[in-house]
Amino acid sequence: MSKKFVDVPEHIAIVMDGNGRWANARGLTRVEGHRAGEAALMDVIEGAIKAGVKYLTVFAFSTENWKRSPDEVKFLMNYNREVLRRRRDQLNGWNVKIRWAGRRPKLWPTVIDELLTAEKLTSKNTGLTFTMCVNYGSRIEILDAVNQIVEDSNSGKLKGKVTEKTIQKYLLTKNLPDVDLFIRSSGEQRISNFLLWQSAYAEFVFLDVLWPDFNREHLWGAIEQYSKRNRRFGGAVDKPKKAKRSG
Ligand code: IPE
Ligand code: IPE
Ligand code: MG
């Protein structure tokens, strides 16, 4: 059964946050929170498909997350790999196209292999494009793009003036449209270096739910909020109210 909305965002980005707090509040270690996040993610993907969303992009591991304890980093690397291996056939069955957005340096080669295998397996699918941002950070993404543009200009591979389109084409998300709806769970109200360029005109919804407790109903609630927003992109419409005259 599909879910109908007045206005469905084409591209939704989610910062899946709050796993550690969810676990610690239950007397568990942080990694148990990450484990509990898998079911939330699968439910949200199914919810996005039912709502008719075309692009769903999630933040799984940031370029800043290497600062965490070696044990947590190791767990997250193994875990990303396991989730992909465990879920890729199910996602393939849902006609989902899996994509990876992230940087190669530091990222475990076995994780990259798993991401590329999932990409290949689902490359012909025509349903939801699901992008996993693993070892992703937006500032370094823009910096990488600028350096590549300079290199390609110097070598003559790139000709003419650099435009917004040029930059967009050099980003890790080059095949994705701009973000329409940006959601963050856990109550934190910040971007944390996620999709800075791509979210220039996104609508933001911050939800006070820790990621392991997040489900499709929360996603649909955020879409509901989105459909009530008035996106102007800098434009304006003049609609003066009729002044009341006495007498
Ligand atoms: C988000 O949950 C998952 C990752 C960053 C990998 P956190 O691990 O950031 O959980 P909190 O924010 O500390 O509760
Ligand atoms: C952002 O969450 C990264 C991911 C969800 C993967 P963080 O928990 O790392 O962000 P901060 O540290 O609260 O800004
Ligand atoms: Mg966090």
pLDDT tens per residue across span 99-117: 999 999 999 999 999 999 9
CA of 16 relative to ligand 1 center, distance in Å: 7
CA of 199 relative to ligand 1 center, distance in Å: 21
Q: Which amino acid is at 8?
A: V
Ligand showing the shortest atom-to-Cα distance for residue 194:
2
Dump pLDDT digits (tens) for 183-222: 999 999 999 999 999 999 999 999 999 999 999 999 999 9
65 is catalytic: yes
Distance in angstroms (rounded) separating the CA atoms of residues 155 and 14: 37
Find the mean pLDDT for residues 49-66.
Answer: 98
Q: Cβ contacts of residue 202 below 8 Å, gap of 6+? A: 13, 178, 179, 180, 181, 182, 195
Q: Percent of the chain, pLDDT > 70?
A: 98
pTM for this prediction: 0.96
CA of 37 relative to ligand 2 center, distance in Å: 14
Mutate to test the pocket of ligand 2, among 59, 65, 193 (most ligand atoms within 8 A of CB): 65
- What's the pLDDT score for residue 247? 54
- What's the pLDDT score for residue 142? 98
Question: Which of 65, 78, 92, 193 is an active site residue?
Answer: 65
